Amino acid sequence: MSGPALRLALEIDGDGAHPAAWRRAAHSPDHLLTARRTAGVAAAAENAGFTLVTLEDGALPPGGASDVVGRIGAVERAAFLAATTSVVGIAPVVPVTYAEPFHVSSQLASLDHISSGRAGWVVGDETAPEAARAWGRPPVEGAQARAREAADGVDVGRALWDSWEDDAVIRSVATSRYLDRERLHYVDFTGGSYSVKGPAIVPRPPQGQLVVIGRPGAVPADRLDVALVGGPDLASVTAAAAAVRAQVPRVFAEVEVALDTADAPAEDRVADLARHAPWADAGRLRYTGSATGLSALLGELAGVVDGVRLHPLVLDEELPVLSRLVIPALVERRLAVRPLAAATLRTHLGLERPANRYATAVPSARQLGEIR
């Protein structure tokens, strides 16, 4: 069975999905947190044909004591990558459990400007109570309370993106007015635990609204443009996708992949890293094996979801295989599409550019007549 072609996303944080992935990386460990490394991975993903890269983040160190404990902020990396890539969509993980939504909204709108409309937002979730200490705030306890913070954060972010109409900058020399205040709007947001006045300081993003991505449950599904769904097998992914389909325009399946390389079978590579740390089960579909097998699995998923987000065991090892063997095979059979130059992430995902909620009506012919 086959549906519309898949959009492919890649999670590129650290050295890969496995906590010990750094041991198999193609660079020395102390080069992970550098500009060259950051740009190199994104360039490889863009060239391979991914539609989107995502960048995991959080206030706490990414791994345990023997794992990678350093990480540059996802928004900073994303902005840097916006300037080193030209086609691929870029979505940092930004939790709003404790962060200031006004800052988050500004940062993401700026990312969309910097990338000419290629930005997304993976709404994160600070689950560890210790993260609260990084923000000087009391812990938000429980999944439900965190989901409420996420909902408020997305709502205020989206309202601020609309708080400038697209044409708010009028540059009216005759009246000396740079802005038209009628096209700027106080959002007057009041949520569960705070309020925000508005308007934004950043003009409306090129996409109007960034593509908002998240896990249903962590974020109420009706706030999302793209839902990321897990499940240990095809049947559970299918069920999870069906459960949110009515509320979310696009559904992506989360897939962890370990692939056979020229050097070693996937099983051996997983076993090698298992000597150092277990590859914890995150409740996601996990594929271990040949490129052909993965292509077949993704072909099956094409009938179930709109896209997949891949989490490679080791970026430096899986990415070349994905690039040479998996993606070309899918594209050739029209099971996956490569993004086009000069298009926005929304366009790549087949999503419309949303109308501005505050936009006032276009002047009528009569009014134009009066001006004339």
Partner 1 sequence: MTRTDPLDVPRPDARVHFGVFFQGVNHWTVWSDPASGSQIDPANFRKVAQTAERGLFDAFFLGEGLRLREVDGRIHELDVAGRPDAVTQLAALAAVTDRIGLVSTSNTTFNEPADLARRLSGLDLLSAGRAGWNVVTTDNAWTGANFRRGGYLDHADRYRRAEEFLTVARALWDGWADGAVSGAADAPNWAAPDAVRRVRHQGPQFDVDLAPTLPRSPQGHPVIFQAGDSGEGRDFAARNADVIFSAHGNDFDDALAFAEDVRRRLRAAGRPEDDLRILPGTEIIIGATEEEALEKKHWIRLQQVTPATALGVAGLLWGLDLSDRDADGPLPKEDPVVTENDGSFGARRVADPRAVVAEWREKAEANGWSLRETVIRLGPQRGHVGTPAGLADRFAHWVRHGAVDGFNVTPYLIPDGLDDIVNLLVPALQERGVYPAGYAGTTLREHLGLREPLTRRAG
Span 28-87, contacts to partner 1 by CB under 8 A: 28-30, 32-35, 38-39, 59-63, 65-73, 75-77, 79-84
- Using CB under 8 A as the binding rule, whether residue 110 contacts partner 1 is answered as yes
**Residues near 76 by beta carbon (within 8 Å), at least 6 away in sequence:** none
Distance CA 300, CA 288 (A): 16
CB 46 → partner 1: shortest distance, Å?
Answer: 14
Are residues 100 and 134 in contact, defined by beta-carbon separation less than 8 angstroms? Answer: no
Task: CB nearer to partner 1: give 77 or 286.
Answer: 77
**Residues near 295 by beta carbon (within 8 Å), at least 6 away in sequence:** 325, 326, 329, 330, 335
Task: CB nearer to partner 1: give 198 or 214.
Answer: 198
Structure-derived torsion over alpha carbons of residues 38, 39, 41, 47, reported in degrees to the nearest 10: 170
Taken as a whole, the chain contains a residue count of: 372
Task: CB nearer to partner 1: give 106 or 236.
Answer: 106
| Binders in 169-208 for partner 1, by CB under 8 A | 169, 171, 173, 175-181, 184, 193-199, 201-203
Task: CB nearer to partner 1: give 91 or 109.
Answer: 109
DSSP sequence for 66-77: TS------HHHH
Segment holding 211, helix H or strand E: strand 211-214
Task: CB nearer to partner 1: give 136 or 142.
Answer: 136
Number of H helices, E strands in the chain: 12, 13
Task: CB nearer to partner 1: give 100 or 155.
Answer: 100
Distance CA 126, CA 139 (A): 10
Residue selected from 5, 43, 100, 234 as contacting partner 1 according to rule CB under 8 A: 100
| Binders in 206-265 for partner 1, by CB under 8 A | none
Stretch that binds partner 1, among 96-104, 263-271, 307-315, 321-329 (CB under 8 A): 96-104
Using CB under 8 A as the criterion, what x/- string covers residues 151-170 for binding partner 1? -------------x---xx-
